[in-house]
Structure 1
Amino acid sequence: MLHDAVVHKKTRVKRGGKWMWLKPTYVKISTHKLPDGRKLKVKAGAQIIDRAWRFIKDRLKRNQQVKANSSLLASQIRSAQYEYWRRNDDLRECTGDLVKEYMRGFAKRPNK
C-alpha cells in the first residue's frame, strides 16, 4: 500500500537570508506509477478522505444487526463510492456506460 503524507503545521524556512513561516499543506496531489506503466494521480489529505466517508455514510442503510463483512454492506459502500466518483456527472449516462463496458466483455457479436 502506498502512503502519502501532508503536513498540518506551519514550518519555518530560511529564504534569501530571512526566516519566514510557510503555511501548512492540508491537501497534496501525488502521482504514482502503476506496475503496468500507467500513472495515477491521487489526492492526499485527511479532509479528502473524511469528506468521502461522510458522503458514503450518509447513503448507507444499515441497522444494528448488520455484520461488518456482509455482502449487502459491501454493495451499498460500492454504490455510494461510485456515486461519489460521478457526483458531478449524469448518473443515468454513467450507468449506461458502465453496463456497456460490462457487456463488451460478456457478450460477443455474432459473426456475419
Structure 2
Amino acid sequence: MRDPFVQSQWEQLCDHLDQVAEHLGEKTHQVAEFRREADAFRHGESPDRYQHLLERVAQATAIAIRWQSASDRHEHDDALVDEASDESFPASDPPVFSHSHA
C-alpha cells in the first residue's frame, strides 16, 4: 500500500519538473527534449517510501541543474553574439555624405 503523503509529494515533484522543463526549454529551444525527459522521469519508478522519494528528489534536482547549465550556456552564447553585433554595428552603417564632401 502506497503512502498518500509520499504519492502527493511525488505528483507535486513531477508537476514541478514539468514546469521547469517548459521554462528552461523555452530559453534553449529544447522544450520537446526537456518535456520528454520530464515525462520519462514521471513514468519511471514511483516512490513507495519517503526515503525513496528523497532519492527521486535528488534525481530531479540533478536533471534541473543540467537543464539550467544548458540554459546558462545558451544565454552566454546569445550574449556573445549580441556583443559582437554591437561592436560591428558602426561598420555596418552606410557612410554619411553631406554637401561639404562633394
Work out whether the TM-score is over 0.5.
no
- TM-score scaled to structure 2, two decimals? 0.27
Whose RCO is larger (CA < 8 A, sep 6+)?
2
More helix as a share of residues = 2
More strand as a share of residues = 1
The structure whose Rg is larger is: 2
